Amino acid sequence: MNRLSACLLLTSALFAQQSPSASQVAGLEQDVAQVRMDVARLSEQITDLQNAVRALRANPAPAAGNSTADRQAILAEVDKKTNALRTELDAAFATFTKQVNAALANRTSSTAVVPVSTPSAGQPVTSTAEPSAQPTVTRPTDNLPPDMPRTGIRYKVKAGESLSGIARRNGSKVEWILKANQMDNPNQVKADSEIFIPQP
């Protein structure tokens, strides 16, 4: 259940952003697969418990110091907890599935893109800027090839970032960024400089 809670918290954090990146969607898909495996495992455990309860009811073995009423009370409590667990698990899975589906739907219908940094192990997923700080903008079409997108976002380069990493995280291509910013070499990108990132 801790893994399910962690998945729900991660999903909630991702919904605070306007549009999940491809890596976030892949992460969500992995989380959904893990939750499905957890649900299957828990469902199997619940079924095993229910079978054990049925077997005990059908063939009660004499227990030292336990009356039939005591055994029935214990079995009723086990049934109650099993049903509560199943209900809780079903509700959590349904909520998680709705959130993932909403994220995927928002991804395809969103027009603004917010760059998302890829977190290192143990760090939360955070946006590199407020959505309003990076609206979709149109780049002038001077000397740009016809196959290159004319819309995209403004992006402030951070120390240690590479042009290929920036392009990958923002759904663009290195060649497009170089042409749009009139650069010849990807190594010309400097920290704290602002560049235009074409996006389809």
- Record the pTM: 0.32
pLDDT for 92-150, tens place per residue?
888 888 887 777 777 655 544 444 444 444 444 444 444 434 555 554 555 677 778 88
In single-letter form, the type of residue at position 178 comes to L
CA distance 160 to 162: 7
| Lowest-confidence pick of 19-33, 133-147, 148-162, 165-179 | 133-147
- Looking at domain 131-198, its CATH superfamily turns out to be LysM domain (3.10.350.10)
Question: Mean pLDDT score of the chain, rounded to an integer?
Answer: 73
Residue 67 has a CB neighbour count (10 Å cut-off) of: 9
The two three-digit tokens of residue 73, written as one number: 């009370």
In this structure, what are the phi and psi dihedrals at residue 115, rounded to the nearest 5 degrees? Answer: -60, 140
Q: Flag whether pLDDT at 183 surpasses 80.
A: yes
* Closest among 140, 190, 199 to 22, alpha carbons compared: 199
Q: What pLDDT is stored for residue 113 in this prediction?
A: 47
Percent over 90 (pLDDT), the chain: 2
Report domain extents, the chain: 2-109, 131-198
Q: What number is the average pLDDT over the span 77-99?
A: 84
More confident residue, 180 or 103: 180
Q: What pLDDT is stored for residue 115 in this prediction?
A: 45
